[in-house]
Amino acid sequence: MPAEPAKILRRALGLVPAGPHYFFHRHALIVRIAHWINAGCLAFLLMSGLQIFNAHPALYWGKSSDFDHPVLSLTAEYTDAGYVGVTQIGPWHFDTTGVLGASDVDGVRMARGFPEWATLPGPQWLAMGRLWHFAFAWLFVLNGLLFWAYAIAGGHLSRDLLPTKTDLAHLPREIANHLRLKFPKGENAKHYNVLQKLAYFLVIFVLGALIVLTGLTMSPTMDSALPGLLWVFGGRQSARTIHFICAFSFLGFFIVHIVMVILSGTWNNLRSMITGSYAIEGGKDG
């Protein structure tokens, strides 16, 4: 039977469960498109953002830069052994040679905030980093606004993303389940659990808004148009610091997201975000 090897392969890859199962349409087309555009944007924005950060690898709090008291800095100290990378966070100093503060570019140890493999473009090139960053910032914002409009007007937000009272009551149990790597199965896998709802809601509607607004606050023309932004974020340098924290919160979310996708069925999850189709274990009547 020619169908058999294909079936075995699909099972081995985890595309379909071994037991009884059926397929469920999990993600609307617009959600899938927005998801992948967003994923691409975040990669470009993070790496070009680190390139821009490297032009002055220090963060401050307040209206302007108090150069002697950065909140965080990635600096290089020149010693007999070459550059030593020092990461300073508040009163603490760490030797981060090779990664932060000082790292190799074409085999030569250089003073640079983030290493070459983390920045776009790789070499120090602020003008180009800004070009990439602003181009993808526009795409990120337009894609985000379209998704927001769809989620709010189309009911995706209230139906799937906003946690209900019952959801919140189940929060402790859900945390315990996640810690034991026990994920919802059958009918329960058809909707997001409360931790997913909270994570997606916060990332899409809070973190997304924050990173765009703090980005705009760094623009001197936007500050003349909307000076309230400065008041909200406590000044341009605070906004820059919050922008940086948001960027790494996105990275943190991404890492947890990827781990969860892998632990709860890599290929099934991946397929559902590409074709929309998600395999549910058990019979249709649960």
Partner 1 sequence: MAENRRGFLARASAGAAALMLSGCTSLSERKWVADLLSEVEVLTRHAQRLFAGPQTLAPEFSKRDIAPVFRANGTLNPGTADYNAHAANGFRDWRIEVGGLVERPLSLSMAELRAMPSRTQITRHDCVEGWSCIGEWTGTPLKLVLAAARPKADARYVMFYCADNMSQEGDAAQFYYESLDLLEAIHPQTLLAYELNGQALPIEHGAPVRLRAERQLGYKMAKYISRIEVVGDFAEINGGRGGYWEDQGYNWYGGI
108 interacts with partner 1 by CB under 8 A: no
- Least CB distance from residue 65 to partner 1, whole Å? 4
CA distances from 81 to 74, 96, 115, 270 (A): 18, 14, 19, 47
Binding-residue total with partner 1 (CB under 8 A): 42
Site string for partner 1, 65-94 (x = CB under 8 A): x-x---------------------------
Preceding peptide of 115 cis, ω within 30°: no
Contacting residues for 141 by C-beta, under 8 A, at least 6 apart: 212
Interface residue with partner 1, options 41, 42, 52, 84 (CB under 8 A): 52
Interface residue with partner 1, options 82, 123, 154, 286 (CB under 8 A): 123
117 interacts with partner 1 by CB under 8 A: yes
99 interacts with partner 1 by CB under 8 A: no
- Least CB distance from residue 31 to partner 1, whole Å? 23
126 interacts with partner 1 by CB under 8 A: yes
Is 74:57 a contact under the CB 8 Å cutoff?
A: yes
Q: Is 70 helix (H, G, I), strand (E, B) or coil?
A: coil
Contacting residues for 212 by C-beta, under 8 A, at least 6 apart: 137, 140, 141, 144
- Least CB distance from residue 121 to partner 1, whole Å? 4
**Cα separation of 38 and 144, whole Å?**
8
Strands 101-105 and 108-112: antiparallel
Interface residues toward partner 1, by CB under 8 A? 43-44, 47, 52-53, 55-56, 58, 60, 63-65, 67, 117, 120-123, 125-128, 130-132, 134-135, 138, 218-227, 230, 236-237, 240
